[in-house]
């Protein structure tokens, strides 16, 4: 006999009532009600307690996380809203706490307290790439600017080491101009030494696509001994490490937090940078912190700007103040950022075309078959 959900308690009560009748055959009665004798005698024994189902929750849970440990998890999560179970467990262990629950249990704690949002999107099939040693490549960019209470806008400048993910700089800037970036780079070079190369986006002040030739930024970096490379146009994943960092910066520091001015914003950035470098476990490093994999460069900022050297067969010319260049009776224009600089000119593979180089970089190609006079 199938017992409906809405009448289960009544059926149990009826069974017990009938079982108390003089001469009642319990086994026969169980058969009629479609239950086992064990179940029948169980309900007869529970007559005084009522006929609702007992909770299946165990009376004791020796493996349950203590309230003290759960509070530690929740307090640390409040400090770092974007951290998941693995990061929280690793950080608590680094702080010296023992007997910690597993990452999955910590995730369940977060879920019980409604601290987990829905997963966004579908995981992509991608391959992580990083340079083998610190300072082989730095990445720099501006995160999208946002408003402040003092009717200003903050333009966050960020720069990290590709190998270690060590955050070299987070600066609250009022603009995205060359001189602003140059001063930040100079301070970073003094503090950490020179990288081999810097990867940056396209467009001003960086250079690359969208710019008319080499920029002041690229000229200056080459003169101090740092190579420059750019991400492919419309492919922000080239700077995927910075893109991912910007999401963390927005979630943990910027979103929903009104800042009065650039100074208060910088104070928050400095505090976050310390946490990110020295406390926040990083998934890409098997939960080690970035500072455990970073060390400064042994290349110091030069006492004077480097002069470009060219091959013996290159024709060396000085670029005029307006960007004009004289070569074999021809006058043509090169980027004005090269004004006053010595460049090397050599024949290209195509007949009648020459390459103009600054250090090893090709900054222009000119077809001499056209009359530039």
Same domain, 282 and 153: yes
Residue 59 has pLDDT above 60, yes or no: no
Same domain, 151 and 281: yes
Instruction: Evaluate whether residue 102 is within a structural domain.
Output: yes
Instruction: Evaluate whether residue 118 is within a structural domain.
Output: no
Same domain, 214 and 160: yes
Same domain, 267 and 175: yes
* Bridge-based pairing state of the strands 315-318 and 153-161: unpaired
Instruction: Evaluate whether residue 119 is within a structural domain.
Output: no
The answer to which of 6-20, 135-149, 258-272 has the lowest mean pLDDT is 6-20
Same domain, 282 and 232: yes
Contact 281, 161 (CB under 8 A): no
The set of residues, in sequence order, having a beta carbon less than 8 Å from that of 16 and lying 6+ positions away, is 43, 44, 47, 51
Instruction: Evaluate whether residue 55 is within a structural domain.
Output: no
Question: 373: pLDDT confidence band, cut at 50, 70 and 90?
Answer: low
Same domain, 193 and 238: yes
Same domain, 326 and 266: no
Residue from 86, 245, 269 nearest 164 by CA: 245
Instruction: Evaluate whether residue 209 is within a structural domain.
Output: yes
The residue among 261, 293, 325 that closes a domain is 293
* pLDDT, tens digit (0-9, with 9 covering 90-100), for 124-149: 443 456 678 999 999 999 998 999 98
Same domain, 151 and 77: no
Instruction: Evaluate whether residue 304 is within a structural domain.
Output: no
* pLDDT, tens digit (0-9, with 9 covering 90-100), for 194-236: 999 999 887 777 765 445 578 899 999 999 999 988 876 545 5
* Bridge-based pairing state of the strands 137-142 and 153-161: antiparallel
Domain of residue 73, CATH code: 1.10.10
Q: Report the alpha-carbon distance of residue 372 to residue 329 in Å, rounded.
A: 9
Contact 148, 260 (CB under 8 A): yes
Same domain, 41 and 73: no
Structural domain range at position 28: 5-49
* pLDDT, tens digit (0-9, with 9 covering 90-100), for 84-129: 777 788 888 888 888 787 878 888 888 777 776 544 333 444 345 6
Same domain, 87 and 167: no
* pLDDT, tens digit (0-9, with 9 covering 90-100), for 229-263: 887 654 555 567 888 888 889 988 998 888 999 99
**Count of domains for the chain:** 4
Q: Burial letters for 208-220: b for 16+ Cβ neighbours within 10 Å, e otherwise?
A: beebebbbbbbbb
Same domain, 71 and 45: no
Instruction: Evaluate whether residue 308 is within a structural domain.
Output: no
Instruction: Evaluate whether residue 306 is within a structural domain.
Output: no
Intra-chain end-to-end CA distance of the chain, in Å: 106
Task: Supply the pLDDT for residue 117.
Answer: 58
Q: Which residues pair with 230 in a beta bridge?
A: 200
Task: Supply the pLDDT for residue 124.
Answer: 41
Same domain, 251 and 146: yes
């Amino acid at each position: 006999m199938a017992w409906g959900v809405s009448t289960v308690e009544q059926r149990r009560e009826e069974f017990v009532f009938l079982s108390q009748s003089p001469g009642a055959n319990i086994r026969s009665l169980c058969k009629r009600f479609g239950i086992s004798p064990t179940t029948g005698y169980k309900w007869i024994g529970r007559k005084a307690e009522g006929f609702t189902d007992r909770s299946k929750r165990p009376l004791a849970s020796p493996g349950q996380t203590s309230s003290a440990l759960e509070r530690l998890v929740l307090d640390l999560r409040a400090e770092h809203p974007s951290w998941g179970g693995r990061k929280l467990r690793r950080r608590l262990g680094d702080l010296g706490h023992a007997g910690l629950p597993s990452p999955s249990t910590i995730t369940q704690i977060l879920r019980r307290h409604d601290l987990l949002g829905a997963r966004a999107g579908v995981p992509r099939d991608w391959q992580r790439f990083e340079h083998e040693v610190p300072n082989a490549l730095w990445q720099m960019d501006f995160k999208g600017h946002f408003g402040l209470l003092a009717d200003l806008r903050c333009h966050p400048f960020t720069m990290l080491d590709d190998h270690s993910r060590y955050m070299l700089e987070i600066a609250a800037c009022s603009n995205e101009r060359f001189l602003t970036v140059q001063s930040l780079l100079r301070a970073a070079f003094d503090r950490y030494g020179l990288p081999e190369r810097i990867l940056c986006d396209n467009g001003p002040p960086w250079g690359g696509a969208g710019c008319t030739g080499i920029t002041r930024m690229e000229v200056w970096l080459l003169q101090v001994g740092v190579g420059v490379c750019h991400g492919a146009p419309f492919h922000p994943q080239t700077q995927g490490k910075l893109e991912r960092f910007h999401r963390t910066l927005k979630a943990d520091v910027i979103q929903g937090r009104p800042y009065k001015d650039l100074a208060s914003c910088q104070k928050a950035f400095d505090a976050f940078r310390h946490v990110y470098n020295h406390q926040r476990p990083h998934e890409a490093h098997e939960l080690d912190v970035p500072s455990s994999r970073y060390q400064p460069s042994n290349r110091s900022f030069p006492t004077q700007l480097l002069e470009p050297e060219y091959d013996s067969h290159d024709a060396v010319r000085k670029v005029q103040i307006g960007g004009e260049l004289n070569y074999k009776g021809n006058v043509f224009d090169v980027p004005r950022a090269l004004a006053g600089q010595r460049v090397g000119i050599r024949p290209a593979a195509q007949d009648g075309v020459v390459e103009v180089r600054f250090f090893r970089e090709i900054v222009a190609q000119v077809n001499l078959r056209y009359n530039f006079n």
